[in-house]
Amino acid sequence: MKLVERMPRVQVTLMPEEAEDMWHTYNLLQIGDSLMASTIRKVQTESSTGSVGSSRVRTTLCLCVDTIDFDSQACQLRVKGTNIQENQYVKMGAYHTIELELNRKFTLAKKIWDSVVLDRIEQACDPTQKADVAAVVMQEGLANLVLVTPAMTLLRAKVEVTIPRKRRGSCTQHEKALDRFYEAVMQGILRHINFDVVKCILVASPGFVKDQFMAYLFREAVRQDSKILLENRPKFMLVHSSSGHKYSLKEILCDPAVTARLSDTKAAGEVKALEDFYKMLQHEPDRAFYGLAHVEKASEALAIDILLISDKLFRHQDVATRSRYVRLVDNVRDNGGTPHLSLPCTELTQLSGVAAILRFPIADLSEPEDDSTSDED
């Protein structure tokens, strides 16, 4: 994301440069915000003779945001609202839908600029906050090439090739199909992975598919004299997975060997924090709290070391409710805790979206304190 212009506490002009920037924009937008961007509008014109025609014109509109639709697979963002600035093509109060585009700037104005929004802008515009982990999750005939960013996982390529079964006395067709499959995966890696940014490439599969692919990959790299693959060979890491589907990425990232290897990458921090929370919940439950009310009590006691909070909570339409979450994050940060905001995972949703690891154990807040005193001698 490129920061084009900034008027503190008034408005900001940004330019999304890659697909993940649309996710950041989705988290920045709230109903009631003002969004100014270039868009295409169908306009009807009437000539002097009375004939009516229509044409599509590009114009700049300023909308009061009413509806926000985000397609996570295509990373497309559509914003619907009413026009609030006079325009030669669109009347005041008329509805229009703007589809935000890559490399086309937009201006966002808000009534309230809280710390979470400002942090999101800083994160989106930080050139170091990029996808520094890639994964190839595969099985025979299927491969998913995924980039893991601090905010989300992006499916960059899906390779599907029909692999014939081995026949008695001949496996030529099977081997040829495997070679075609491995070649397609190799081309996907070369096309979609930026080796200057990516620190680790996980190659995962059940069985020996990953080993056979790696043997093919570097055999072809030597034959084709592919310096980019040969120079980055240490970045590849083989991992076991239960399948070649994208959902296996979660089990891969939780593997202790992978966690150790990814310790210096940005994507690993939140995965490890969630894993630490579950370990704490199992072994020291007095130091693992979840649910907004309990976590707020722990925050008041200055006990929170790590806060886990789902970023979808900050898209709440009620200002008071959103402010409550923002206040919690600010309190934890001010008292030396570490908040993790980019956690839209299913497990955290099951924990009401908020969980915390405490510095020291405190009593279970679900049980009321007994203030009675005994008069017995």
Q: Which residue has the higher pLDDT, 317 or 263?
A: 317
Query: Does residue 144 carry a pLDDT above 80?
Result: yes
Query: Does residue 208 carry a pLDDT above 90?
Result: yes
**Sheet strands side by side (includes 34-46):** 2-7, 11-15, 106-109, 34-46, 52-71, 76-83, 95-100
The DSSP-derived string for 222-260 is HHHT-HHHHHTGGGEEEEE-S-SSGGGHHHHHT-HHHHH
Q: Which residue has the higher pLDDT, 308 or 373?
A: 308
pLDDT of 365: 53
Q: Which residue has the higher pLDDT, 168 or 23?
A: 23
Contact 147, 133 (CB under 8 A): yes
**pLDDT single digits (tens) 292-328:** 999 999 999 999 999 998 877 887 777 788 889 999 9
Query: Does residue 214 carry a pLDDT above 90?
Result: yes
The amino acid at 294: H
Both tokens of residue 67?
A: 């509806």
Stretch among 258-267, 272-281, 309-318 having the lowest mean pLDDT: 258-267
pLDDT of 167: 66
The amino acid at 286: D
